[in-house]
């Protein structure tokens, strides 16, 4: 987290003598709860819409007690913070109210009075009774999971009553969830989200003039599924979804590349070469594609060398009077 925008101690201004650091800090802060139980100071402005109720949020946070420099709670040591759902994973009332006031990219400091934090009892041994706590929170991203969950719980007939834009939005949310899980290397759960999005798109009929919107959305999901199955070490499924993507866009370099990767893993070298050469034709200077072609050439060379060695060993002349031990080379 970045350092506070204003010092906690030594604030100038009349009437500051005899006040604690948090009391002095609170004079600068915005009341967002209506009773001064949750106060906010924006360190860096965000952009876009406010966080929606019941959203799943990606935040970095650190919580501090007054007169303590080190946080009593923080997730900033994590390389990738965990996606948390408001009301379930985030149970501190003040933090939930604070996050609901934020926009993507925003960094803010909050003071939570005991009623909005750990109450009269505190949380022994870390949090003393009746403690006001300070949290610095950075909102990296959020996903409106409530809308998606409610829509997916409906029957197919009920879903069909909604406009296409609603279906596309829910499918995009499911894909975004999958992307987040993929980045956390949780490939199985990413696959589940991608398949959920694909089912919605395949089940939905569209007017001819709108079909291109559905196909574009399906293409993104199919590409992600192909990549995910490569990570899950299931190249046959990766090839299947890559070929499904090519039905939509036969010149899509990513789809051709994924199919080539899958065929290489399955040692189907000719098919791998066909896919990768087509991908290279679309993107001649793509570093990943060119490296995969080099890898294919190396694998194929090793394969042919082993084939030659095996043939040589099988058909090499030998002395009829040789011992069993001498002829055992055929069975290595």
Host H or E run for residue 330? none
Q: How many CB atoms lie within 10 A of CB 280?
A: 19
Domains of the chain with bracketed CATH: 21-144 (3.10.50.40), 147-312 (1.25.40.10)
Q: Is the peptide bond before 195 cis (omega within 30 degrees of 0)?
A: no
Instruction: Please give the pLDDT value at position 332.
Output: 36
Secondary structure class of 43 (helix, strand, coil): strand
Give buried/exposed letters for 122-149 (b at 16+ CB in 10 A, else e): beeeebeeebbbbbbbbbebbbbbbbbe
Instruction: Please give the pLDDT value at position 149.
Output: 81
Instruction: Please give the pLDDT value at position 49.
Output: 92
Instruction: Please give the pLDDT value at position 11.
Output: 39
Nearest partner of 51 among 124, 147, 140, 142, judged by Cα: 142
- β-sheet bridge partners, residue 59: 139
Instruction: Please give the pLDDT value at position 230.
Output: 97
Instruction: Please give the pLDDT value at position 231.
Output: 97
Instruction: Please give the pLDDT value at position 82.
Output: 83
Contact 99/57 with Cβ under 8 angstroms?
yes
Residues, the chain: 332
Write out residues in the chain with pLDDT < 70, as ranges.
1-17, 302-332
> What does the alpha-carbon distance between residue 299 and residue 72 come to, in Å, rounded to a whole number?
53
Secondary structure class of 139 (helix, strand, coil): strand
pLDDT digits (tens, 9 = 90+) for 190-225: 999 999 999 999 988 888 899 999 999 999 999 999
The vertex-290 CA angle with 284 and 293, nearest 5°, equals 125
Nearest partner of 15 among 4, 29, 26, 31, judged by Cα: 26
* Phi, psi (degrees; rounded to nearest 5) at 38: -130, 115
pLDDT digits (tens, 9 = 90+) for 218-270: 999 999 999 999 999 999 999 999 999 999 999 999 999 999 999 999 999 99
Secondary structure class of 47 (helix, strand, coil): strand
Pairing status of strand 73-74 against strand 56-65: antiparallel
Instruction: Please give the pLDDT value at position 12.
Output: 41
């Amino acid at each position: 987290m970045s350092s506070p925008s204003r010092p906690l101690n030594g604030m100038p201004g009349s009437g500051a003598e005899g006040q604690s650091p948090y009391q002095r800090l609170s004079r600068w802060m915005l009341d967002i709860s209506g009773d001064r139980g949750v106060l906010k100071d924006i360190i860096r402005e965000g952009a876009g819409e406010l966080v929606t109720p019941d959203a799943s949020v990606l935040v970095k946070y650190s919580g501090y007690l007054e007169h303590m420099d080190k946080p009593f709670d923080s997730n900033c040591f994590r390389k990738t913070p965990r996606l948390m759902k408001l009301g379930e994973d985030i149970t501190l009332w003040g933090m939930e109210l604070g996050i609901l006031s934020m926009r993507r990219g925003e960094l803010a400091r909050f003071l939570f009075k005991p009623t909005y934090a750990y109450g009269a009892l505190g949380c022994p041994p870390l949090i003393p009774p009746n403690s006001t706590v300070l949290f610095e929170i950075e909102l990296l991203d959020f996903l409106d999971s409530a809308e998606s969950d409610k829509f997916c719980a409906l029957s197919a007939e009920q879903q069909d009553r909604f406009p296409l834009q609603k279906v596309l939005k829910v499918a995009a949310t499911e894909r975004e969830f999958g992307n987040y899980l993929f980045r956390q290397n949780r490939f199985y759960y990413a696959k589940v989200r991608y398949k959920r999005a694909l089912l919605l798109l395949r089940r939905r009929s569209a007017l001819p003039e709108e079909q291109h919107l559905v196909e574009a959305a399906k293409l993104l999901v199919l590409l992600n599924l192909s990549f995910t199955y490569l990570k899950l070490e299931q190249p046959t499924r990766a090839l299947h979804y890559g070929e499904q993507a090519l039905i939509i866009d036969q010149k899509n370099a990513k789809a051709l590349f994924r199919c080539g990767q899958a065929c290489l893993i399955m040692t189907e070298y000719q098919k791998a070469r066909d896919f990768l050469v087509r991908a290279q034709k679309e993107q001649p200077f793509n570093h990943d594609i060119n490296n995969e072609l080099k890898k294919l050439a190396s694998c194929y060379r090793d394969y042919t060398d082993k084939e030659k060695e095996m043939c040589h060993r099988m058909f090499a002349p030998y002395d009829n009077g040789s011992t069993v031990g001498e002829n055992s080379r055929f069975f290595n």
